[in-house]
């Protein structure tokens, strides 16, 4: 137990020392208006520096994330097939796949999968 507490203490001390050293080293002494502006070349931008946000790209990214999480849920179900009741496993898998298919059908019918509206 003593070794664990010593190692935790040493880890915390090293982390704190490194954080303090980084904050001391990274401090800039001179703040300049031109240096703090988004463009350091010295001229004022003629248009906005930010590009407009694409809602369609965001929706596609969310759909990808949802289906990626579902794949992460399905993969362990394949491993548990050997140790579980086969009828309950098949029922659970069918319900899960049907929910995914119904969600995909809903998104398709509401034109959520189109890139442009």
- pLDDT in the model for residue 98: 92
* Separation of first and last alpha carbons in the chain: 63
Measured at the CA of 12, the angle between CA 7 and CA 15, to 5 degrees, comes to 125
Q: What is the domain partition of the chain in residue ranges?
A: 55-109
Under the banding of pLDDT at 50, 70 and 90, the label for residue 51 is low
Please write the tens of the pLDDT for every residue from 65-94. Answer: 888 888 888 888 888 888 888 899 899 889
Of 41 and 63, which is predicted with more confidence?
63
């Amino acid at each position: 137990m003593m070794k664990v507490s010593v190692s935790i203490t040493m880890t915390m001390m090293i982390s704190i020392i490194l954080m303090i050293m980084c904050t001391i080293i990274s401090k800039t002494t001179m703040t300049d208006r031109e240096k703090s502006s988004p463009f350091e070349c010295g001229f004022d931008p003629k248009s906005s520096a930010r590009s407009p946000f694409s809602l369609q790209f965001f929706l596609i990214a969310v759909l990808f994330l949802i289906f990626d999480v579902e794949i992460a849920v399905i993969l362990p179900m394949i491993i548990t097939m050997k140790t579980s009741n086969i009828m309950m496993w098949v029922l659970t898998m069918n319900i899960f796949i049907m929910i995914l298919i119904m969600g995909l059908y809903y998104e398709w019918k509401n034109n959520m999968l189109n890139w442009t509206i």
